Homo-oligomer: A and B are copies of this chain.
């Protein structure tokens, strides 16, 4: 039996089919570029799954054999079935990792795990728009997700996301982005839910070739290793054996 980290790269895979700019960067879909990048790591085993496959490619069998999910979605969050989201949610609480990318901030699975609306500010950058420079500053250089990076990652063309980002206070804030237009953003955030680890990573707008960037790929590799399960365990609500008591006690006098 393999000891590899079993990664399921999930992609919405719709922008890539209908938008020429996106298609140019990702002719086979973003998920394929991510999968190929992660697949270079000898300690990982990669599968992909996309929205328009049956059960969005996330059958019970796939979910149960996934150690870490990556999740990119944007225009079609609403088309993801609640049942499949519940399946992934249960797996994360049991110990699987989840890496949410860019517009995945508004995905059902991320909002369900955060308990907030996950809104943010943004600025259009698209087909005929050049985007703007982003610098992702490494706030925690000793965090495993920052392993091997230098002081910052610079991306020459991005779509801006700005604060306030409506998330629970991150347990660790690994990256903060600086944008040319004057905004900042908590771009790399970690949380734990149940026994699972969650990492939100901001970059990845579809109209720019972000996932081809080697440093972005390095972060994804690091994040998968960080998020791999420590245990897989379902928390239930067990009833403990009764204890022997010396007898009923007097209730305290009621006041009020």
Contacts and interface: CB of A to CB of B under 8 A. Distances in A.
Interface stretch (A2-10, A65-73, A131-139): A131-139
Of listed A139, A184, A186, residue having the most chain B CB within 10 A: A184
A240 B122 contact: yes
Interface string A204-241: 00001100111001000000000001110101111111
A243 B121 CA distance: 14
A14 interface: no
A181 B243 contact: yes
B115 A114 contact: yes
A137 B183 contact: yes
Contacts of A183: 137, 178, 240
A174 to B, nearest CB: 11
A182 interface: yes
A114 to B, nearest CB: 6
Interface in A154-210: 156-157, 160, 162-164, 166, 168-169, 171-173, 176-184, 186, 191-195, 208-209
A54 interface: no
A178 to B, nearest CB: 5
Contact of A163 (B25, B113, B131, B139): B139
